Amino acid sequence: MDLFQRQWATYRAVLDHDLMEHQAMSLACGQVLRQVCATAKAPSLVDLGCGDLGLLAPLLLTLPLGHYTGLDLCAEVLPLAQAALSQAPFPRSWMAEDLLSWANAPQAEAVEVIHSSYAVHHLQQDQDKANWLRGCRRRITPGGRLIWVDVFREAGESREAYLARYGGRVEGWNALRPDQRQAVLAHIQRFDYPAERGVIEGIAQEAGWSWQWTWEGHHAAEAMAVLSPA
């Protein structure tokens, strides 16, 4: 197994044991997506940081989408995502690209739905997240929705305090092998920069969004927000 396969196998193990509550999140996400599809006719959906679609594909396959675009910085996941949607009745496109570049592409088309799960917390600065929110605001249709699933810090919580708290939780993930727990801990220390609740809601408002929390996990970290043009 190469490094990519090992890292992806660890993420799959986190999903398979539902350690980040993906099951409850995808039920809630399904409800929102079905509502959007009931009001917008054959909407286009762009999935920023789509990964291998191991979780989302069964839900996507049931939706009357007009078009699906899967975008991920890691080109190696795209063939897996492509295979997961091979039976989809709607057209698909694939992009190996950065989600911030996508949001800020000049003269780009607007879409009805932007979905992103567990990818935006990899943007390190609030400034980057603000640029992403402004770019997505430009690229959403008037009645469209941005569905943002991610880990978030509590109001007033530093990144260090968040990492200590989340790390303590990972130490208890006994369903994973010790080397897998170590890989998760190293990954979050290096790559996780969750936005702070309250602060990010203000940033989104300044970018022209109206914010609604629609799902909360049990650990004051994983959550889903649905943003509409204000």
Ligand X SMILES: C[S@@+](CC[C@H](N)C(=O)[O-])C[C@H]1O[C@@H](n2cnc3c(N)ncnc32)[C@H](O)[C@@H]1O
Least distance (Å) from ligand X to the CB of residue 71? Answer: 6
- Min dist CB 122 to ligand X, Å, is 4
Q: Does 207 bind ligand X (CB under 6 A)?
A: no
What angle do helix axes 159-171 and 178-191 make, rounded to 10 degrees? 170
Q: Alpha carbon of 141 to those of 40, 66, 84, 132, 201: distances in Å?
A: 10, 14, 27, 16, 20
Single out the residue of 60, 65, 103, 119 in contact with ligand X (rule: CB under 6 A). Answer: 119
Residue of 24, 59, 61, 73 interacting with ligand X (CB under 6 A):
73
Q: Does 117 bind ligand X (CB under 6 A)?
A: yes
Of residues 132 through 151, those in contact with ligand X by CB under 6 A are none
**Using CB under 6 A, which of 37, 40, 45, 49 touches ligand X?**
49
50 in contact with ligand X (CB under 6 A) = yes
Chain residues binding ligand X by CB under 6 A are 11, 49-51, 55, 72-74, 77, 98-99, 117-119, 122
